[in-house]
Amino acid sequence: MLLLRLVLCGAQVIMVICGPRALIHFSMLILLPLIIQLLMHRIIVIGGLALRSGARGRLKIVIVKRDVYVYNGNMSLIHGVGDFFALDIGTTAIRLIQLAGDAQHGWVLQKFAYVPMDRKTLEDSSAAGRRHLGEIILGAMQQAGITTKNVAVGMPAGKTFTTVIKVENQAEKDVLNGVKYQLDKYIPMAIDDATVDFVSLGVCPIDATKVEVLISSTAADFAEERMEMIESFDLNVVAQEPESIAMARALMPVGATDARLIIDLGEHSTDLVMMYKGAPRLVRSVPGGFSVFVKTVSSSLNVKEEQARQFILKFGLAQDKVEGQVFRALDSTLESFTSELNKSISFFRSEYMNTPVGGTVLSGFAGMIPFIAEYIEAKTNVTTTQGNPWQLVKVSPEQQRVLQPVASEFAVAIGLAERSND
């Protein structure tokens, strides 16, 4: 930047001494190549910060928009990014939702769509597959009556890395500047290959000499490819955010001031977020999701995977149904699952001076399997309840009727939509 300033000063001198014709020659020979060279360094602006990225081409990813990411008691955003809708491209369905209102006065469901999808279609990365996906999304938008082109998209937990660090308590500007220049210490990839954003969570709840900072990163190539795919559908991506953060925003119980572990059992992985005093303090993605449960039961009971899936969702862990075969088949898998939960609880307590965890909130398939809440509560000694992502959203009786079969699947979409639309 110093070099650029010197060149600009030289241009001013040439203009005064030699006139505009000499300035034109100078601009073509010196100034324009210099600007092109600077642009080739690919300096991108994310959340108000300039970060160097190894990604090719343009980026406008916002994993967590630092300049607007301000929490209130239920972690909703106070400031927003304009009129937009939320898009959750899951492993079994596509979910769209648009809300009206704000975090302070409450949300109202305006428009929504739910499209069950075949996994192969969602994973098809060919040009034809992407076109087909775009046609489905645009068709769902049309049927739902969504007219805005602005969209906030979830980033799969398996493709993101999110962590919370503690640094010395200073002025926020100094804290964030310090983190910016040490990002390579906190993310599991080279900074040139990553798209990174971060936000101050404020003073550490148990140590006033420290400030906590939430950092999220993803591979720059993945972020750029995903954004370009969405924008090829003639949509404008205003934000990309880790699904775990969006999910926690929607599911954190209203008014809770103690720690809560939020669990989202997905198809292929499990997202764990420990919320405390309105902000995430621990974020993990554990390999192995509902598909592991299905394969285990399928193998143990010698039935097809589709039938095993139905058994789990219908009978769950009931020991008086089908002679308790589903429960026994899942015994070792459930032991491993709850072991990961206990690890997260123990780690949080060790980091926050034995702060008690007041409850566990279930989402995804964990909110659909009968009796799994009772099982988790017995294994963790923490009160466990089914989460309600609609707790802050006003829904009409007719909307409730239509949504009832799939309402529990909207946690990520609702969390993205609750980013505020001021």
For each of the domains in the chain, give its residue range(s) and CATH number, in order of start: 58-159+219-254+391-422 (3.30.420.40), 255-387 (3.30.420.40)
Position 156 pLDDT exceeds 70: yes
What is the structure's pLDDT at 121? 85
Sheet holding 207-219, edge to edge: 160-168, 207-219, 194-204
- Model confidence pLDDT, tens digit, residues 357-404: 999 999 999 999 999 999 999 999 999 999 999 999 999 999 999 999
Position 41 pLDDT exceeds 80: no
Give CA–CA dist 44/60, Å, rounded: 8
Q: Quickly state the pLDDT bin for 82 (edges 50, 70, 90).
A: low
Are 59 and 194 a contacting pair, CB within 8 Å? no
Query: What average pLDDT does the segment 96-103 reach?
Result: 90
Position 135 pLDDT exceeds 50: yes
The strand pairing partners of 217, in sequence order, are 161, 196
> CB neighbours of 58 closer than 8 A, spacing ≥ 6?
44, 224
Q: Which residue has the higher pLDDT, 254 or 87?
A: 87
Q: What amino acid occupies position 400?
A: Q
Give CA–CA dist 116/404, Å, rounded: 15
What is the structure's pLDDT at 67? 29
The 8-class DSSP code of residue 27 comes to I
What is the structure's pLDDT at 147? 95
Closest listed residue to residue 183, CA positions, set 41, 40, 348, 50:
50
What is the structure's pLDDT at 27? 55
pLDDT above 70 covers a percentage of the chain that reads: 80
Mean pLDDT of the chain: 82
What is the structure's pLDDT at 329? 96
Q: Which two tokens stand for residue 139?
A: 């068709």
Q: Quickly state the pLDDT bin for 416 (edges 50, 70, 90).
A: very high
Are 397 and 373 a contacting pair, CB within 8 Å? no
Q: Which residue has the higher pLDDT, 384 or 320?
A: 384
What is the structure's pLDDT at 291? 94
Q: What is the pTM of this model?
A: 0.78
The 8-class DSSP code of residue 31 comes to I
Give CA–CA dist 31/22, Å, rounded: 13
Question: Phi and psi dihedrals of 209, rounded to 5?
Answer: -85, -5
